[in-house]
Amino acid sequence: MGDEDRTPPWHARPGARAWRCAPAPAQVREFHAALPGHTPTPLTELPSLADELGIGRVFVKDESDRLGLPAFKALGASWAVHRVLAARAADAPGPQGQGRDPVTLVTATDGNHGRAVARTARRLGQRAHVFVPQGVHPQAVAAIAAERARVTEVPGPYDEAVRRAAEAATAPDAVLVQDTAWRGYEQVPAWIVEGYSTLCAEVDDQLAAAGVPDGPGLVCVPVGVGSLAQAVVTHYRSRPSGRAAALLSVEPETAACVLLSLTRGALVGVPTGDTIMAGLNCGTPSSLAWPYLRDGLDAAVAVTDAGSARAVADLAALGVSSGPCGAAALAGLRAALTGAGAAQRRTALGLGPASVVVLLSTEGAAANPGTALNGS
């Protein structure tokens, strides 16, 4: 049975579009605009996908080149490290403005976040120590090491790499810069989430320029631990009035921790398996993100490697470089709008023939250059 003939793993929550929260700080976008080499990433319209899926317009936010890296993660890493160093300087002022000798920025990663932290550390004259779980391609590991980071490969899943990184960050002059939160570790992940708000603000401006001033009808966001999804929920659920966008999270079927948590109504973890969507291969949602995902997401869907691989190839044919994690957004949209039960899923998302959809393609093909795209 092909992906187009089956009912995908799915959960919908009525009433999410009525939920509201506080917005992200406005100064985040100003900070990014002042960084060397920063420009907004493209928002590309793909009419053939709109025709295929029976909706009005489809746009892809192409994060294949963000601050010189092939993924959106530099937005969160740069803002969080800026806040970390500013806090340290305030605690212990020094002649160089950093407050202390160089600090070691420690993190765990499935690839893109760790490279972004390492790049930020190198740019600012700091050190980086990155823990990488099993399943990350050697070329992605080598890209982190090329940023002059110390790399420790962990013979276990992502959650184990996070645990090891947290232990290492207890050393003197080390600080954890992790993009997932747990009880007692929430401030830095919150800064990372704030950093991602720039992406959403850019989408607003770009849609307005394309004749969509009221914003999208649906945003599809790939989910690992849920930090980007938290930023997306914050952006669209902090608007005081106007039409609210539907928000759909997309995960691998082998690591659908958000989908299961939503289904059970409580934050839970899942064992993870192999997937070409390496950056989404996370077993536990961020505790910081969870309340936003629980209350602000309209729906969650899980996709297969085959669906992601097809989306990678189709986006490439349309001129958009996307890795398996970024292309998961398209795979999720297809899973939601086609196959058994599609009519009910369209209704849950409030989609009709004139609806505008934004896909967040969170990484380019270069983010995972050795990933095979023949998974099923």
DSSP assignment of 264-327 equals HTS---------S-GGG--SS--TTTHHHHHHH-SEEEEE-HHHHHHHHHHHHHTT----HHHH
Strand, coil or helix: 252: strand
Contacts with 176 (C-beta within 8 Å, 6 or more apart), sequence order:
106, 107, 165, 166, 169, 185, 188
The two structure tokens encoding residue 250? 């997309």
Distances (CA, A) of 81 to 108, 175, 232: 15, 10, 21
Separation between Cα atoms, residue 351 and residue 346, nearest integer Å? 5
Contact 301, 248 (CB under 8 A): yes
Contacts with 155 (C-beta within 8 Å, 6 or more apart), sequence order:
134
Distances (CA, A) of 323 to 10, 135, 340: 23, 16, 27
The two structure tokens encoding residue 200? 């959403």
Contact 229, 18 (CB under 8 A): no
Q: Positive or negative CA dihedral for 257, 259, 262, 263?
A: negative
Residue among 3, 61, 62, 110 flagged as catalytic? 110
Q: Which of 205, 233, 201, 206 is CA-nearest to residue 219?
A: 233
The two structure tokens encoding residue 178? 């992790």
Residue among 3, 73, 179, 305 flagged as catalytic? 73
5 carries an active-site annotation: no
51 carries an active-site annotation: no
Q: Which of 246, 176, 272 is CA-nearest to residue 16?
A: 246
45 strand-pairing partners = 59
The two structure tokens encoding residue 359? 């896909």
Could you list the active site residues? 73, 110
